[in-house]
Amino acid sequence: MIAPTITYHEFRGSNDVLRNPRAASPRERTKRASILTALTLFLPGGAQITAGSRSLGRIALAVTVGCWFLLLLGITMYFTMRSVLLSALTQPFIMWTGSIILVALGIGWLVLWLDTFRLIRFSQLAPGFKPIIAVILVLLTALTSGGLAYAGHLLNDARNALAGIFGEGAAVQAEDGRYNFLLLGADAGEGREGLRPDSIHVISVNQATSETIIVSIPRNFQNAQFAEGSPMREIYPNGYNCGNECIINFLYTEVHNSYSHLYPEAQDPGAAAMMDAASGTLDLAIHGYVMVDMGGFSELIDAMGGITVESGGWVPYRGRHPETNQWGNRWFEPGTLELDGSDALSFARSRTHSNDYNRIQRQQCVQQAMIGQFTPQTLLTRFTEIMAAGENIVETDLPQAQLGSLLDLAVDAQDHTPQRLTLGAPDFGSAGDLFSTYPDFDQIHARVDELIANEGEDDDAPSAQEPQEQTEPESPEEAADSEGEPPGPTPEHTDPAVAEDEPGEQQTAEASELTQPDGSPLTELYLIEAQQRGEIGILEQAASTNGECSPGN
Mean pLDDT, contiguous 10-residue spans, the chain (553 residues): 43 57 78 91 92 92 94 91 84 92 96 94 83 93 94 87 76 87 72 65 90 89 93 92 85 92 91 95 92 74 86 89 82 91 87 82 79 61 64 74 80 80 85 84 94 73 42 37 36 39 44 74 88 87 86 76
Residues 6+ apart with CB under 8 A from 452: 178, 204, 213
Pairing between β-strand 288-293 and β-strand 394-396 as defined by DSSP bridges: antiparallel
- Could you give the C-alpha distances from 110 to 51, 103, 105, 142, 329, in angstroms and in order? 18, 11, 8, 9, 58
pLDDT the model gives residue 188: 55
Rounded distance, CA 537 to CA 473, Å? 20
pLDDT the model gives residue 67: 94
Cα first-last separation, the chain = 87
Question: Using H for helix, E for strand and C for coil, what is the string for 400-463?
Answer: HHHHHHHHHHHHHHCCCCCEEEECCCCCCCCHHHCCCCCCCHHHHHHHHHHHHHHCCCCCCCCC
Answer yes or no: are the C-beta atoms of 231 and 262 closer than 8 Å. yes
- Could you give the C-alpha distances from 373 to 307, 370, 376, 413, in angstroms and in order? 7, 5, 9, 16
Rounded distance, CA 198 to CA 248, Å? 9
- Could you give the C-alpha distances from 195 to 255, 291, 348, in angstroms and in order? 11, 11, 18
Rounded distance, CA 547 to CA 356, Å? 9
- CA neighbor of 469 nearest in space, from 434, 422, 510, 428: 428
Residues 6+ apart with CB under 8 A from 387: 157, 158, 161
pLDDT the model gives residue 378: 63
pLDDT the model gives residue 142: 95
Answer yes or no: are the C-beta atoms of 223 and 236 closer than 8 Å. no
In 3-state terms, the chain is what percent helix, strand and coil (to 5)? 55, 15, 35
Which amino acid belongs to residue 52?
Answer: G
Pairing between β-strand 419-422 and β-strand 212-217 as defined by DSSP bridges: parallel
Rounded distance, CA 55 to CA 248, Å? 70
- CA neighbor of 89 nearest in space, from 527, 405, 360, 329: 405
Write 41-46 long-range contacts (CB < 8 A, 24+). 41/140, 41/144, 44/108, 44/109, 44/112, 45/112
pLDDT the model gives residue 221: 92
Chain-centre distance of CA 291, in angstroms?
A: 12
- SS3 call for 214: strand
Number of H helices, E strands in the chain: 21, 11
- CA neighbor of 436 nearest in space, from 274, 269, 217: 217
User: How crowded is the C-beta side of 79, counted as CA atoms within 13 Å?
Assistant: 5
Answer yes or no: are the C-beta atoms of 150 and 382 closer than 8 Å. no
- SS3 call for 10: helix
pLDDT the model gives residue 56: 94
pLDDT the model gives residue 296: 65
Do you know the residue count of the chain? 553
